[in-house]
Amino acid sequence: MYVYINGEVIKKEDVRISPFDHGFLYGLGLFETFRVYEGHPFLLDDHLERLNEGLRLLNIEVQYNRAQVYNILKTLLKKNQLTNAYVRFNVSAGNGEIGLQTDVYTEPNLIIFMKPLLSSLEIAEKEAILLKINRNTPEGSYRLKSHHYLNNVLAKREIGQEPESEGIFLNADGFLAEGIVSNLFWIKDGVLYTPSVNTGILNGITRQFVIRMAKNAGIEVIEGMFLTEQAESADEMFLTNSIQEIVAVSKFGGSQLPGNRGLTVKWFSSNYRMQRRKLWSRNGMLLEGLSEWKKK
């Protein structure tokens, strides 16, 4: 595998970063993960918008744009002989003295790597299992997609490696938050529910895409503070992230759910697949109507 690092494309075995990088020493780094479908980086503009906002907050003096990143991705895809790929775009603060720094970081490290993925994946069903460990609170006023992943790692150890399961966090106040690597949605009586970002969750790019998709289709969306019992009465439930896309839930708590057979989940998945080879941002989506789709 070939990796991009600070302007060079080199073999992964040759990648080196300094132990004095503050992304390593103090967790001052951000990343985005997204998929490339037949050469197209789906929702790249949205990922870069979130990344750039986080970089400003961390005082890392760099911003990235579509043209710049797309050129790097095309080079990496060609070098790795890929047209469909998982991409991790990682920015760390760069080298500094030992000790906490308040000055601007002016020489960050950019590392981009990718691995192959199939152009289309069967939508896997998962069982959503409540975790004993709570979701930690964000380090700042809201959660960044940062290097601070110990909470997620401990949660993954609690639930194990089974790919058919996803752990669901409650926050410290007992409200539903998010999955270990996903955001949570459910449908009840035609309304789409999802935990608010005020619970401390990451505002996922696919989460934002699904909310926009629902609103564009005239589906009512309620973001709020929800207890477990409110989700257990759901008609359908699904999880989202940028790699696994939209994953139906077949069981949550004591409730059996329709999983992949759910009509609304099928509609979201169908429209997602329809957009993923062309959209740069959620703002540009076109939808097949839900009522028309259900008649098929």
**Whether residues 177 and 240 fall in one domain:** yes
Structural domain that includes position 212: 126-294
pLDDT tens digits, residue range 223-247? Answer: 999 999 999 999 999 999 999 999 9
Is the residue at 7 inside a domain?
yes
φ/ψ of residue 187, rounded to 5: -120, 135
> Global pTM?
0.94
| Distance set, CA 158 to CA 117, 130, 180, 226 (Å) | 27, 10, 11, 23
In a domain? residue 283: yes
Shared-domain flag, residues 43 and 152: no
Number of domains in the chain: 2
What are the CA-CA distances from residue 50 to residues 31, 101, 208, 263 (Å)? 10, 23, 11, 31
For the chain, where are the alpha helices, taking DSSP H only? 22-25, 44-57, 66-80, 150-159, 205-216, 228-232, 263-275, 290-294
Q: Which two tokens stand for residue 184?
A: 């949570």
Looking up residue 64, the CATH number of its domain turns out to be 3.30.470.10
Query: Residues 60, 28: contact at Cβ < 8 Å?
Result: yes
162 is a domain residue: yes
pLDDT tens-digit readout, 41-73: 999 999 999 999 999 999 999 999 999 999 999
